[in-house]
Amino acid sequence: MLRRRASAVCTATVAVGVLALAGLTGTASADPSPAPSAPVAGAEQLSPGLLKAMERDLGLTAGRARARVGAETRAAAVAAGLRHSLGAGFAGARVSGDAAELTVATTDAADAARITEAGARAVVVGHSLAELTSAKAALDRVALHRAPEGIPVWYVDVRTNRVVVEAGRGAATDTFLAAAGVSRKWVTISQSAGLPRTFTDLRGGDAYYMNGTGRCSIGFPVKRGTQGGFVSAGHCGTPGVSTSGYNQQAQGSFQGSTFPGRDYSWVAANTGWTPRPLVNGYGNGDVTVTGSTEALEGSSVCRSGSTTGWHCGTVQQRNSSVTYQEGTVSGVTRTNVCAEPGDSGGSFLSGSQAQGVTSGGTGNCSQGGTTYFQPVNPALQAYGLTLVTSGTPTDPTDPTDPGGSWAVGTVYAAGDVVTYGSAGYRCLQGHQAQAGWTPVNVPALWQAL
C-alpha cells in the first residue's frame, strides 16, 4: 500500500467523424443513432486546468481537447444503442484517436451492416462480451477467497477479445485458471513485473487526513439526503475513522468502506463543510462536475490528486481486477494516467463527467505508470448517495413534473426500469439523472417500454 504517512476477424470501416464518452454499461433503442438531445459532457466548458493537463499529457490544444471530449460523448451514445440492438452478440466497444473513431465488436457477421450504418467500425470476433465477463468473474470469485500470488492484474480486453492475465510466473497462472475453471482459450498471459499498490496518502482532488496517520484525496462531493460528504477510496479508512481537511480542521468521519473486493468509501462531513460540484484544478481553475456518465475504453480521462495535481491519459480496460498486498480488488478501470502516494481516492473525470476514485497502480509521475480507478456509480449505489453536480437542484420540487419514479440525482444502472408520467422506461446506460435529462427527452439514455 502506498499510504502517505503524516510524517513523510472481419471488419468494415466507415468514417465516424466526431463521436464517444459514456460506457459499455448500456442498451439502447433499435435505432442506435444518437439523438440531437443526447447529453454532451460539457465539452465547451472544460476548465483551464483540465485543458492544460490534456495538452501536457495528450498533446492536445484546447480546441482539439474540446472536440475530442464531445466526440467521445456522442460515440458512447451510439455504442449504447448498438449494445442493446446487438443483444447477446455484442462483444464490446472502444474509441481511438482524437476523432474518437468508434469500433464495435460482435460475434455475428450479420451485425456488421447494422454497425456500419450507425457510423462505427465493425469487427467480428469469437467471444461475446458476456462470455469474457463471465470468465473474468470466475477468476474474481477465486481471488475473493485468496488473492493469487504473483498475479497482480487481470481484465477483459475488448480490443483483443480476450481475458488478459498479467503474471510474473507461469505456474501461478495455470493454478489460478484451473481453480477458476477457466480455459486457456479465453486467456492471454502477459508477463508483468509491476506490483500495484494503493495511492493512500469538499472539493474533489483536495487532501484530507485520517486520524493524523495518513493522507488521501477527496473523490467527489456527495449528499445522502441532507447530509453532505464525499466518496473516496476504501483503503483510505474504515467506518468510525475521523478525518480532517486540507487545512487540518476537523472534517468528518468514515461512514462506510469496502476494501479489498472493491475500493470505495464515503465520509460524512461536519456542518462546516459544504459539498460543491467541483474538482480542484490546482491553480488552473476548478472543474465543474455535471454528471457521472461512464466513458468508453479509449476515451480521454484526467485525474486530480493532492500529491501530483492534474494528469491525463486514456481509459485502457474497464472491469479489471488487481491484486494489492492487502488483497484483490475487482471492477476497477485500468488507465495509463500516472499517480503517486497521497493521490488515492482522488477524482477521475472524462470531460466534466465523474468517472471514479483513484485506487492504486504502478510507476510514478516522473517515469509514468498505470493507475486503476474505482468507478464512482457503484459507490454511489452502494451507499445510497447522490453526486453533487452543477445540475443538483436547490429545490427539487418541479411543478411541471408529471410524476413517476424517475428522479433527478438518482444513479441509474443499465436495465433499471422507471416510470415518468404514465409511461415506463428502461435505462440504456449507467448515469446519474440530471435536470432536463428526462426519459422522454433523452432516448440515448432511456428506452420507452
The catalytic site residues sit at 235, 263, 344
The answer to whether the Cα torsion of 202, 205, 208, 210 is positive or negative is positive
Provide DSSP, 125-184.
-SS-HHHHHHHHHHHHHHHHHSPPTT--EEEEETTTTEEEEEES-HHHHHHHHHHHT--G
Helix (H) or strand (E) holding 18: none
User: Helices marked H in 192-244 — which ranges?
Assistant: none
The pairing of beta strand 162-167 with beta strand 187-191: parallel
Pairing of strands 353-364, 264-269: unpaired
Cβ-Cβ contacts under 8 Å for 416 (sequence gap 6 or more): 426, 427
Whether the CB-CB separation of 374 and 357 falls below 8 Å is answered with yes
Question: Which residue in 113, 105, 36, 31 sits closest to 74, CA to CA?
Answer: 36
Instruction: List, in order, residues 6 or more apart from 193 with CB less than 8 Å away.
Output: 168
Helices 129-145 and 170-180 cross at an angle (nearest 10°) of: 100
Which residues pair with residue 328 across a beta bridge?
A: 323
3-class DSSP state of 293? coil
